[in-house]
């Protein structure tokens, strides 16, 4: 049905729904959807005045609430958010080569870079500036055209320079609608995430699930196990932890009491079956993995304790890149993918439409006449009893 709409709300929650949580001064504070929109609209006016010729915003905010206020304000101002996955000086230098008129939004105490910037540190939770109350519901000005490029998400640059990929609002709405269906999120679930909102996984599974999926979000950036536990404990049930294998391993190894977790959602790195089984045993919650990329967004998921195969999101198709050859190269297309994308992984497509990952194209190696991948070999060495970590690499 979303494909037929001419515009979409910027935020799908009811005005009085509590969407943001954070602990400050030993008190859990909340912000409702209408307060968020008030902050976003006020900042949009400010940005319009400040930007002048600036056409895009580089959103570097670490606090999820400040990031999302900046994200929404940029869209309301008719501009595009640039979302680098790393915050190094070299990454910013490369972005400013292509976007010299950009303005950086941040919430750092100090600004060490020689670029135009504006701090959102004034969005203080303890001493919030009163805003004029918003009317019930959203006006036409709060609806976004589906073709509006709301974000350019950058690749990590691990295979070269960071590359931007346009994300339109209509495709992102369809992305989240597919994720809600695929993950069985029939009602809002409270989100606690250890991944940054600028990363495609964090962008989809934290920012967009909050804005489009009506899911309350922990505004902080938990990293250490104790911080993750405190954040989970402060959020209403049901709860979903959005994290990485690295953070999950550290959380379980800490052996501290965990509040009730209703589901786990992981991506960004290979997950061992041992860690998945341990996590489900300790938390008594189902663990799901997301497969995707910056270019495609999320396109498949699996529950690794039940199957090694990946199930495509609704409307996503995989077609052979070279139909006349018996290779493992596939192109992803359909639904929320902005344009057809050649996958960076080698794929075995099953008869039922599910698929198996055979390793990255770039890490394929030949050993004594047999093909393998560095990721597969790394998984094998880490599965050896007594080995806590390891990696295969080409010298």
DSSP letter for each residue of 119-164 = E-TT--SSSPPP-PPPPSS--GGGEE-TT-EEEEEEP--TTSS--E
Q: Who wins on pLDDT, 160 or 371?
A: 160
Run of H or E including 233: helix 225-234
- Tell me how far CA of residue 254 lies from CA of 264, 289, 336, in angstroms: 17, 22, 39
Examine residue 86 and state whether it is found in any structural domain, yes or no: yes
Q: What is the pLDDT of residue 126?
A: 47
Contact 275, 248 (CB under 8 A): yes
The pLDDT of residue 132 is above 90: no
What is the Cα–Cα distance from 198 to 85, expressed in whole angstroms? Answer: 6
Tokens 């309350």: give the residue: 216
Q: What is the DSSP letter of 310?
A: B
Contact 118, 103 (CB under 8 A): yes
Structure tokens at 365: 């190696």
What is the Cα–Cα distance from 201 to 265, expressed in whole angstroms? Answer: 10
Contact 168, 195 (CB under 8 A): no
The pLDDT of residue 365 is above 80: no
CA angle 45, 49, 50 (to 5 degrees): 115
Examine residue 67 and state whether it is found in any structural domain, yes or no: yes
Question: Given pLDDT bands bounded at 50, 70 and 90, which one contains residue 273?
Answer: very high
The pLDDT of residue 251 is above 60: yes
Segment 330-340 mean pLDDT: 95
Q: What is the pTM of this model?
A: 0.89
Per the prediction, the chain carries an average pLDDT of 87
Tokens 């075995």: give the residue: 348
Examine residue 189 and state whether it is found in any structural domain, yes or no: yes
> Which CATH number is 306's domain given?
3.40.50.12780
Structure tokens at 146: 């589906």
Segment 116-127 mean pLDDT: 71
What is the Cα–Cα distance from 86 to 91, expressed in whole angstroms? Answer: 7
Coil/strand/helix, residue 271 = coil
Which among 113, 111, 44 has a CA at the least distance from the CA of 78?
Answer: 44
Segment 178-182 mean pLDDT: 96
What is the Cα–Cα distance from 240 to 192, expressed in whole angstroms? Answer: 6
Q: What is the pLDDT of residue 128?
A: 54
What is the Cα–Cα distance from 114 to 38, expressed in whole angstroms? Answer: 31
Structure tokens at 198: 């600028």
Examine residue 389 and state whether it is found in any structural domain, yes or no: no
Domain count, the chain: 1
Q: What is the DSSP letter of 203?
A: I
Q: What is the pLDDT of residue 394?
A: 58
Q: Who wins on pLDDT, 186 or 264?
A: 264
Q: What is the pLDDT of residue 310?
A: 97
Tell me which of 207-211, 221-225, 323-327, 343-347 is least confident. Answer: 323-327
Examine residue 89 and state whether it is found in any structural domain, yes or no: yes
The pLDDT of residue 183 is above 60: yes
The pLDDT of residue 368 is above 50: no
Question: Given pLDDT bands bounded at 50, 70 and 90, which one contains residue 82?
Answer: very high
Residues in the chain: 395
Q: What is the pLDDT of residue 213?
A: 97
Provide the domain limits for residue 64. Answer: 2-343
Tokens 């729904």: give the residue: 17
What are the respective helix, strand and coil percentages of the chain, to the nearest 5?
30, 25, 45
Examine residue 232 and state whether it is found in any structural domain, yes or no: yes
Segment 20-34 mean pLDDT: 88
Question: Given pLDDT bands bounded at 50, 70 and 90, which one contains residue 367?
Answer: very low
Contact 184, 64 (CB under 8 A): no
Q: What is the DSSP letter of 236?
A: P
Run of H or E including 42: helix 33-51
Examine residue 138 and state whether it is found in any structural domain, yes or no: yes
Structure tokens at 267: 């991506």
CA-based radius of gyration for the chain: 21
Segment 356-365 mean pLDDT: 73
Number of Cβ atoms within 10 Å of the Cβ of 101: 12
Contact 104, 123 (CB under 8 A): no
Segment 312-331 mean pLDDT: 89
The pLDDT of residue 369 is above 90: no
The pLDDT of residue 23 is above 50: yes
Examine residue 355 and state whether it is found in any structural domain, yes or no: no
């Amino acid at each position: 049905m979303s494909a037929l709409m001419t515009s979409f709300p910027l935020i799908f929650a009811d005005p009085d729904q509590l969407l943001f949580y954070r602990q400050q001064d030993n008190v859990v504070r909340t912000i409702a959807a209408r307060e968020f929109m008030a902050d976003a609209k006020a900042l949009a006016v400010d940005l319009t005045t400040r930007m002048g010729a600036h056409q895009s915003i580089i959103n570097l905010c670490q606090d999820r609430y400040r990031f999302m206020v900046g994200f929404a304000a940029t869209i309301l101002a008719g501009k595009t958010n640039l979302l680098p996955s790393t915050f190094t000086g070299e990454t910013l230098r490369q972005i400013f080569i292509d976007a010299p008129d950009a303005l950086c939004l941040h919430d750092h105490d100090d600004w060490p870079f020689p670029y135009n910037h504006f701090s959102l540190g004034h969005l203080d939770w303890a001493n919030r500036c009163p805003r004029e109350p918003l009317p019930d519901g959203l006006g036409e000005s709060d609806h976004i055209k589906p073709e509006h490029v709301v974000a350019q998400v950058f690749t990590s640059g691990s295979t070269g320079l960071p590359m931007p990929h346009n994300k339109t609002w209509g495709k992102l709405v369809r992305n989240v609608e597919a994720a809600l269906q695929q993950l069985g999120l029939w009602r809002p679930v409270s989100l606690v995430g250890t991944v940054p909102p600028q990363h495609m996984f964090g962008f989809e599974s934290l920012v967009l699930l909050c804005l489009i999926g009506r899911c309350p979000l922990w505004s902080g950036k938990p990293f250490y196990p104790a911080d993750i536990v405190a954040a989970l404990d402060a959020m209403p049930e049901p709860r979903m932890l959005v994290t990485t294998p690295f953070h999950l391993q550290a959380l379980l190894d800490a052996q501290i009491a965990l509040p009730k977790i209703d589901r786990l959602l992981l991506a960004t790195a290979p997950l061992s079956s041992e860690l998945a089984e341990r996590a489900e045993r300790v938390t008594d919650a189902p663990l799901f993995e997301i497969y995707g990329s910056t270019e495609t967004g999320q396109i498949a998921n699996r529950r690794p304790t039940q199957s090694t195969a990946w199930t495509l999101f609704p409307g996503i198709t995989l077609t052979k890149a070279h139909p006349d050859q018996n290779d493992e190269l596939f192109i992803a297309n359909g639904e929320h993918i902005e344009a057809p994308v050649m996958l960076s992984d080698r794929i075995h497509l099953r008869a039922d439409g599910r698929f198996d990952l055979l390793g990255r194209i770039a890490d394929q190696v030949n050993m004594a006449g047999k093909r393998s991948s560095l990721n597969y070999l790394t998984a094998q060495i880490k599965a050896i009893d007594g080995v806590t970590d390891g990696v295969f690499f080409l010298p």
